[in-house]
Amino acid sequence: MAARVLITDDHQLLREGLRSLLENRGFEVTGEAEDGRSSVRLAKQLEPDVVIIDISLPGLNGIEATRQIHQNSPEVKVIVLSMRADSRAVLAALAAGASAYLLKEAAFEEVVIALRVVLKGQIYLSPAIAHLVVQSSVEHWSANPGYVRHGISGREREILQLVAEGRSSKEMAASLFVSVKTIETHRKQIMNKLNLHSVAELTKYAIREGVTSV
């Protein structure tokens, strides 16, 4: 039986091209998502074997989406396909539960190789970035994301991204199905933990730590 794949990227042309290529190689594309939150929902609904996902996604970034997919459905493999080639992104993706990390500049054949590797329960890294993991392991603590060191929770990371993307408290509350008061409480807790005092400072922090690419 063909392996079932869910494609997540905010660029329609990339999704369509990847769908065509995968289907020509015998994979079954069960669905497409254009943002992280939709990917989490469809992964739970469609139960694919593999989710291919970008990091830079609106609303909920690919790393947080990967974390939620892994928590909801540990058997689903996640392949991150990104333009980012820095160690922080690679390690964050692996820590979130990704089974593979590929660069978008990689040849299509590498995507197929990664799919076959993760379906066997193994980890795959693009050769172009594998050395980053080794280097960062040697450096150890300096490579860990700052929000981990400061004890920022998963929900707080979601809110941090939305704040950095310029969403209002009302918009965030509607997106996360909570009250405006809850959003404001979370935002105050984030600022206290990080010792930051304005939305501008939160935005700079979120960009620096790779929470968002805005």
Give me the CATH number covering residue 191: 1.10.10.10
Question: Does 25 share its domain with 120?
Answer: yes
Verify that 117 and 152 share a domain, yes or no.
no
Q: Which of the pair, 135 or 207, is modelled with greater confidence? A: 207
pLDDT at 95 over 50: yes
Hey, which residues does 124 pair with through a beta bridge?
100
Q: Which amino acid is at 197?
A: H
The verdict on 22 and 109 lying in the same domain is yes
Q: Which pLDDT does position 170 carry in this prediction?
A: 94
The one-letter amino acid at 148: V
Distance of alpha carbon 100 from alpha carbon 114, whole angstroms:
7
pLDDT for 108 equals: 82
Mean pLDDT of the chain: 88
Q: Please write the tens of the pLDDT for every residue from 37-50.
A: 999 999 999 999 99
* Count of other CB atoms within 10 angstroms of residue 137: 11
Count how many domains the chain has: 2
Do 65 and 114 lie in a common domain? yes
Of the candidates 37, 72, 30, which has an alpha carbon nearest to the alpha carbon of residue 51?
Answer: 30
Which of 63, 17, 58, 11 is closest to 38 using CA atoms?
A: 58
**108 shares its domain with 152:** no
CB 39 within 8 A of CB 66: no
Q: What's the predicted TM-score (pTM) here?
A: 0.72
106 with 16, same domain?
A: yes
How far apart, in whole angstroms, are the C-alpha atoms of residue 110 and residue 127?
10
pLDDT of residue 19: 94
* Domain containing residue 75: 4-140
In this predicted structure, the answer to whether residue 145 has a pLDDT above a threshold of 80 is no
| Residue pLDDT, tens place only, 162-187 | 998 999 999 999 999 999 999 999 99
Cα separation, 58 vs 164, in Å, equals 11
Residues 116-144 have a mean pLDDT of 77
95-100, Cβ contacts within 8 angstroms, sequence gap of 24 or more: 96/63, 96/64, 96/66, 96/67, 96/70, 97/66, 97/67, 97/69, 97/70, 97/71, 98/66, 98/70, 99/123, 99/124, 100/124, 100/125
89 with 127, same domain: the answer is: yes
Domain's final residue, options 140, 160, 186: 140
Do 125 and 196 lie in one domain? The reply is: no
168/93 same-domain check:
no
Q: What percentage of the chain reaches a pLDDT higher than 70?
A: 92
Residue 213 forms part of a structural domain: no
Mean pLDDT within 149-160 = 82
Tell me what the mean pLDDT of segment 178-204 comes to.
91
Mean pLDDT of 139-159: 68
